[in-house]
């Protein structure tokens, strides 16, 4: 696995030995084109305005404030934003999560920083917190994909990374196998916050995919029980607006 944080000179050498793969097409990126092929960048669909004021999903109706999922649900998080439309990047995220493409994290974080800089600034957060994996899953995968993005984003924004604050204490069934109600039950008592260390007032949770919001809600519940006032989230991908 590539070391996430290496110096600039070292990066050049590592790039020669292990050329970067493009997060979109997974081919080796042509020299001088950065972290993704120039031609692939145009294929990415970003979440644009109008957006749901709660979950950040793109809306197809200017007159609406919330998406229909948020209209019918009370969330425990305060608000969130998303970078990509899930459909346009789902293969990329799949490789990132399951095929050891940790190197994509630097590109994703750069993109988040570039496109959502204003939103991040307005959040005035004291900490960036990745949604944790259960220790056994992290061991078998070798890394937590949300933590990789969070670490890069913390460097770019200067907002401290809190990667050991939230623990996943229960091994849960993968959320994608469940419907909305089952997702909520699946996450009951799944997370735990390290006691007596939280002196945070505003936090940003980082996750890879937002579907119903039940994972972010479950962590937000625990953080707020420990006195965190505001819980925002940033997710790499979100499904289409409706």
- For residue 156, state whether it binds Zn ion (rule: CB under 5 A): no
- For residue 112, state whether it binds Zn ion (rule: CB under 5 A): no
Q: Which of residues 189-208 bind Zn ion (CB under 5 A)?
A: none
Q: Which is nearer to Zn ion, 40 or 102 (CB)?
A: 40
Q: Which of residues 8-47 bind Zn ion (CB under 5 A)?
A: 22, 24-25, 37, 40
Rounded alpha-carbon distances, angstroms, from residue 22 to 50, 102, 126, 239: 29, 12, 32, 22
Which residue has tokens 């944790």?
Answer: 132
- For residue 54, state whether it binds Zn ion (rule: CB under 5 A): yes
**Do 78 and 232 form a contact (C-beta atoms < 8 A)?**
yes
Among 21, 47, 51, 55, indicate the residue that binds Zn ion (CB under 5 A). 55
- For residue 57, state whether it binds Zn ion (rule: CB under 5 A): yes
Helix axis angle for 104-123 and 145-157, nearest 10°, is: 60
Q: How many residues contact Zn ion, by CB under 5 A?
A: 11
Contact region for Zn ion (CB under 5 A) — 64-72, 99-107, 119-127, 190-198? 64-72
Question: Would you give the distance in Å from CA 95 to the centre of its chain?
Answer: 15
List b or e across 201-227, with b for residues whose CB sees 16 or more CB atoms inside 10 angstroms: ebbbbbbbbbbbbbbbbbbbebbbebe
**Residue 117: partners with Cβ closer than 8 Å, 6 or more residues away:** none
Q: Which is nearer to Zn ion, 71 or 124 (CB)?
A: 71
Q: What is the smallest separation between the CB atom of 70 and Zn ion, expressed in angstroms?
A: 3
Binding residues for Zn ion (CB under 5 A): 22, 24-25, 37, 40, 52, 54-55, 57, 67, 70
């Amino acid at each position: 696995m590539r070391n996430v944080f290496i110096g600039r000179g070292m990066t050049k050498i590592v790039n020669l030995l292990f050329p970067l793969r493009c997060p979109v097409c997974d081919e080796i990126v042509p020299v001088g084109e950065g972290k993704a092929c120039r031609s692939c960048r145009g294929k990415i669909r970003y979440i644009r305005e109008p957006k749901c004021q709660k979950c950040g999903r793109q809306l197809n109706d200017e007159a609406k404030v919330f998406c229909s999922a948020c209209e019918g649900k009370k969330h425990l998080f305060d608000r969130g934003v998303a970078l990509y439309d899930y459909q346009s990047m789902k293969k990329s995220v799949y490789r990132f999560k399951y095929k050891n493409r940790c190197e994509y994290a630097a590109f994703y974080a750069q993109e988040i920083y570039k496109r959502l800089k204003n939103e991040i600034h307005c959040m005035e957060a004291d900490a960036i917190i990745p949604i944790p994996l259960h220790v056994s899953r992290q061991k078998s995968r070798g890394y937590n994909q949300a933590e990789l993005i969070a670490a890069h984003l913390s460097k770019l924004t200067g907002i401290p990374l809190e990667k050991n604050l939230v623990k996943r204490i229960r091994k849960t069934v993968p959320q994608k196998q469940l419907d909305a109600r089952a997702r909520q039950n699946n996450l009951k008592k799944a997370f735990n916050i390290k006691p007596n260390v939280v002196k945070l007032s505003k936090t940003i949770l980082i996750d890879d995919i937002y579907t119903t919001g039940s994972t972010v809600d479950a962590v937000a519940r625990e953080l707020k029980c420990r006195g965190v006032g505001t819980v925002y989230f940033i997710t790499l991908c979100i499904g289409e607006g409706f």
